Amino acid sequence: MKDRYREIYDNFNWDIPGQFNIAHYICDRHAGTGDTALVYEDEQHRVHTYTFTDLKKTSNKLANVYAGLGVKKGTRVGIFLSQQPETIIAHLAGFKTGAINIPMFTLFGPEALQFRLENSGTRVVLVEAGNLDKIMEIKNTLPDLEYVICIGEPGSREDNLISFSEALENASDDFSPVSTAAEDPALIIYTSGTTGPPKGALHAHRVLLGHLPGINVSHNFFPQPGDLFWTPADWAWIGGLIDVLLPSLYHKVPVLACRFRKFDADAAVDLMQRHGVRNAFLPPTALKMIRSEASPEACRKLKLRTVASGGESLGEEILEWGKNTLGLDINEFYGQTEANILASNCGAIMPIKPGSIGRAVPGHQLAIIDDKGSVLGPGEEGEVAVRSGDPVMFLEYWRNEQATRSKFVNGWMKTGDTATMDEDGYFFFRGRNDDVITSSGYRIGPSEVEDCLLSHPAVSMSAVIGKEDVRRGQIVKAFIKLKDGQNASEELKTDIKKFVKTRLAAHEYPREVEFIDEIPLTVTGKVKRNELRALEVKRSGKDPS
């Protein structure tokens, strides 16, 4: 195969305008064409189609509702919704008013919601009726939260609790969006680390433009005629929102929306087959489940043109399965919430090396650096870094100047991930130099889980690590020291798991719990998670090197 990558990379130039509003470029400029923007299959398998004109008019109505509530430039608006039309409508309305949207995962419990809403100073939040109780339970603890807009029947008429459908029925569909600079804030997406609570990565409107080269590369020169995009990843995550939804609409490519309460491999294959999905972002766990659980014959009937995956290493076996069963190269990519899709494979323009997360996406300057920010040579292990000033890069951590400063060194943004780069520019991921757990493509900070565990009445101390798992990459494992008088039992383990699952998030609860007499600590009182990880490696019989 001829390697066209270098020519494309060397000839790439950014074109970032001074004024840029995501809503205009992904919706309003396409209105009037009659083209389909969204295909939504609901839980009863009924299919609803929305044109760009539909989205424009409905989001204009919601923008007018926002304006009536005092939403303006810089106002934070929470979007506690799943893959459904109201989600993109809420984002569009927020962008049009100059608000800062805050997507939140629908499986979050009250504690996870409370932190994000309080930290961000959210003033308005949109929520489905099924999740309304989670918001109302904590509303009185949130001094900045004034209005709750409910999709579905709210069940009561409390002050400042607004029915989405009733509000839109009386609103005008004529709205003049505010003018926003490409550098103006548009989104806060919370990410988790190992020290302290989750951090809010503040992104500008230009983040969409920064993502486009990575989408184009990881999906083999996206868009192409007939493309239709779907992902099982929730639109609250950067992988679902800015790796799929927003860039597809920017390119006038329709997006398929369908919520799965729980991922089902057969249902996913059936969905893609029925709708003729051409492009899919499938996290590694989803790919592994499809490979092991779905019918190979059904997989071979899919009309997929491209599949991209990221979040954890795929491995050579999955890549071969993609070629033999799906009939395509699965393009693995790499990035993080603060700066996403920095490196990617692209079978259309370069050979794919098994085990590699690809090469730098055109427009992004990447390197392997040491702790002083000096660039290392081929084969030397260090930290993946991206040159400061990249359009895909976050503006700052919300209300966390110290964490923002510590993210940069010598003109580079540090990713916190260790890797090597070979002489051809391919990156090979080695591990994380912090303690973030990657499970089913989700990045989980142990400190948030540990804080939740400590609020359980039986728990004295806790430590959380990632444990290797064939399907999920890693699972959350909790080591727990019980309070005096508490007796270890399987029933208590189950209760602790359920406690975290309902209070924090379903994807963050510890799938494995072990009671221990003492949590290993440093002299300054920090948990020595490396010792616990080493213990698990020893138990597994694997070589720790």
Mean pLDDT value across residues 150-171 = 90
The model's pLDDT over 85-132, given as tens digits with 9 standing for 90+, comes to: 999 999 999 999 999 999 999 989 999 999 999 999 999 999 999 999
Q: How many angstroms separate the CA atoms of 227 and 255, rounded? A: 9
pLDDT at residue 194 greater than cutoff 80: no
Q: Residue 124's pLDDT is what?
A: 98
Look over the chain and give the mean of its residue pLDDT values, rounded to a whole number. 92
Share of the chain above pLDDT 90, in %: 76
On the question of pLDDT at 545 being above 50, the answer is no
Q: Which of the 8 DSSP states describes residue 382? A: E
* 521, pLDDT greater than 80: no
Q: Token pair of 21, please? A: 């509003």
pLDDT at 525 over 60: no
Instruction: Give tens-digit pLDDT for 282-309.
Output: 988 888 889 888 999 999 999 999 999 9
The CA distance from 170 to 449, in Å, is 43
Span 264-272, average pLDDT: 95
pLDDT at 40: 98
Mean pLDDT along residues 216-237: 96
Report residue 149's pLDDT band, with 50, 70 and 90 as the boundaries: very high
The rounded distance, in Å, linking the Cα atoms of 472 and 502 is 20
Helix (H) or strand (E) holding 116: helix 110-120
Tell me if 96 sits within 8 A of 63, measured CB to CB. yes
Q: Considering only CA atoms, which of 200, 211, 126, 222 is closest in space to residue 165?
A: 126
Entry pTM = 0.86
Q: What is the rounded distance in angstroms from the CA atom of residue 100 to the CA atom of residue 383?
A: 31
Domains, the chain: 21-180 (3.40.50.12780), 439-540 (3.30.300.30)
pLDDT 10s digits, 378-427: 999 899 999 999 999 999 999 999 999 999 999 999 998 888 999 999 99
Average pLDDT over residues 48-53: 98
Share of the chain above pLDDT 70, in %: 96
- Give the SS3 label for residue 255: strand
DSSP state string for 163-223: EHHHHHHTS-S---PPP-BTTSEEEEEEE--SSSS-EEEEEETTHHHHHHHHHHHHTTSS-
